[in-house]
Amino acid sequence: MQLGMVGLGRMGGNMARRLIEGGHTIHVFDPSSDAVAASTQRGGIGSASLDQLVESLSAPRAVWVMVPDGAPTDETVSRLASLLSSDDVVIDGGNSNYKDSMRHAEKLAARGVKFLDSGTSGGIWGLKEGYSLMVGGDESAYRRLESIFDTLAPSKDSGHGYVGPAGSGHFTKMIHNGIEYGMMQAFAEGFEILKAKEEFDLDLAQIAEIWREGSVVRSWLLDLTAAALHEDAELSEISAYVDDSGEGRWTVAESIDLGVPAPVITASLQARFRSRQEQPYGAKMLAAMRNAFGGHAIKRSGE
């Protein structure tokens, strides 16, 4: 099947490669000419502009967008809306807010262009293992392009599916990422407690390996944790700074809007915020209050 791929970063580039290796004809565009050249060397058909990419596709066209969420996606979708024709399809496979996806679907529908929002999970491992794809939007477009999703997914019969109307794909992926935050935080806290029990001199890499087989907490996240511990159990080359993509924030905001409690996901998001602070003011305030009411010793700067 023929497909246009816009955005050839870590995810988009690997997705284009998996599709090419799966026998599809993939036309590619990225603002980076080096990224386009790398993809063409693997069998992609390069374009120097978005206009050229659209012109190179046969109708009805399908264009997959893999660019950063927010303004870059808005601008790309708006440009495609002016270039595409009735019955063409735009797929947004990035980490867009589901509300933006609903807006994009409405904008494209006014021109007769169909829209799919594909929540995409798999990261840098997707090239080899396949991607988990949660697809919302026009169901007829999904069925027409199903061979694309079959190829990107771990298998034809697993790892992807149509989940509902426009926005539902990215909404589902948003909640997926919120759950991911909580799972990661639980593993991080558990292994920190294990490490703190110095009298047992525990081998954390060994424990991770034991848990990987047969335990209730066995998972791909645990597999990755075990690999990291085998490489460097002290994590000596890693800074204790954890970023976030924004989807955890959106999940917490949605829980508030819906009145659905999400204490674990919320706490894991807050832990990421704290990881980015050096000598956080709030902790200093706690120390000052303990000293003020109880005379508890405090550590001065530099101690």
pLDDT band at residue 168 using 50, 70 and 90 as cut-offs? very high
pLDDT of residue 219: 95
The answer to whether 139 is a known catalytic residue is no
pLDDT band at residue 299 using 50, 70 and 90 as cut-offs? confident
DSSP designation for 123 = G
Mean pLDDT of the chain: 95
pLDDT exceeding 70 applies to what percent of the chain?
99
Q: Is the pLDDT of residue 303 over 80?
A: no
Same fold, 2-165 and 174-279: no
Q: Is the pLDDT of residue 302 over 80?
A: no
Q: Is the pLDDT of residue 259 over 80?
A: yes
Q: Is the pLDDT of residue 300 over 90?
A: no
The domains of the chain are located at 2-165, 174-279
Please give the average per-residue pLDDT across 40-63, as a whole number: 96
Q: Looking at the chain, list the stretches that DSSP marks H as alpha helix, in order from N- to C-terminal side.
A: 10-21, 33-41, 50-56, 71-83, 98-109, 126-129, 139-144, 146-152, 168-196, 204-212, 220-231, 247-258, 263-275, 281-294
Token reading at 281: 């003011």
Q: Is the pLDDT of residue 116 over 80?
A: yes
pLDDT band at residue 301 using 50, 70 and 90 as cut-offs? confident
Tell me which CATH homologous superfamily contains domain 174-279: N-(1-d-carboxylethyl)-l-norvaline Dehydrogenase; domain 2 (1.10.1040.10)
pLDDT of residue 294: 85
Listed residue (77, 283, 269) closest to 184, CA to CA: 269
The answer to whether 237 is a known catalytic residue is no
Of the residues 55, 173, 198, 254, only one is catalytic, namely: 173
pLDDT tens for residues 238-256?
899 999 989 999 999 999 9
How many other CB atoms sit within 10 Å of the CB of residue 290? 13
**87 touches 152 (CB < 8 A):** no
Q: Is the pLDDT of residue 139 over 90?
A: yes
pLDDT tens for residues 280-298?
999 999 999 999 998 888 8
pLDDT of residue 296: 81
Of the residues 129, 180, 189, 199, only one is catalytic, namely: 180
The CATH code of the domain at 2-165 is 3.40.50.720
Listed residue (74, 79, 130, 81) closest to 97, CA to CA: 74
pLDDT of residue 33: 95
pLDDT exceeding 90 applies to what percent of the chain?
92
